[in-house]
Amino acid sequence: MGAEYDSRMAYGKNANEAFHKVTDEAGWERGHGYSGSLAEKHEFVKVRVPTNPDTGRRMSVAKFESFCLEADLFMTDDELLEEERSARSFYTGAALTNALRNLKQERKERDKFLRKVPVWARDQVLAVGNMNRDKWGPATCVEVLGSEYYKAKRSLPELKGKQGIRIYKFWGYCSS
């Protein structure tokens, strides 16, 4: 069984209401049971989009999601250390050299990616990216705020004139 990435926006009075809307919508569109959609998710973790401590400006939701999606391709420091320990206990000679070379390349590629991510957002991007890897785990949820909120609200005609509505973005890998 595989996994597919799904990302959707939903609205409601709170994140729970929006999550139920988004999972129902995904279920109607793609079905239930290994659909590769958010219909397969049963819970979510709400996270904040990182904010630059110097300027007080939030990273855009789209950029944060993009960074998190790319971050899930890389091992965490703990995973890299565990892989190195395993390699040293299982391999010798050329096999060990090759395994360690692969881990060094993994670190190099991860560090290259991290140079694109602002320093103040790196820990959060890596944590959310790591969480996203689990196709059986929770969806990621962020509340859409500020100018992004007003832009999203304008794009949803059914929200015209409604008050007290919040908009959320949900994403993650889903079982397929």
- pLDDT tens digits, residue range 44-88? 999 999 999 999 999 999 999 999 999 988 888 888 999 999 999
Q: Tell me the pTM.
A: 0.87
Q: Residue 170: CB partners within 8 Å, gap ≥ 6?
A: 7, 8, 9, 10, 18, 19, 22, 38, 41, 44, 139, 140, 141
pLDDT at 163 over 70: yes
> Do 120 and 50 meet the contact criterion of CB atoms below 8 Å apart?
yes
Amino acid 1: pLDDT? 65
- Across 55-71, b (16+ Cβ under 10 Å) vs e yields eeebbebebbbebbbeb
Share of residues in the chain with pLDDT > 70 (%) = 99
Amino acid 108: pLDDT? 95
Q: Residue 122: CB partners within 8 Å, gap ≥ 6?
A: 114
For residue 34, name the pLDDT band (cuts at 50, 70, 90): confident
pLDDT at 30 over 90: no
Cβ atoms within 10 Å, residue 106: 16
Amino acid 158: pLDDT? 85
Window from 11-15, 60-64, 160-164 with minimum mean pLDDT: 160-164
159 versus 98: the higher-pLDDT residue is 98
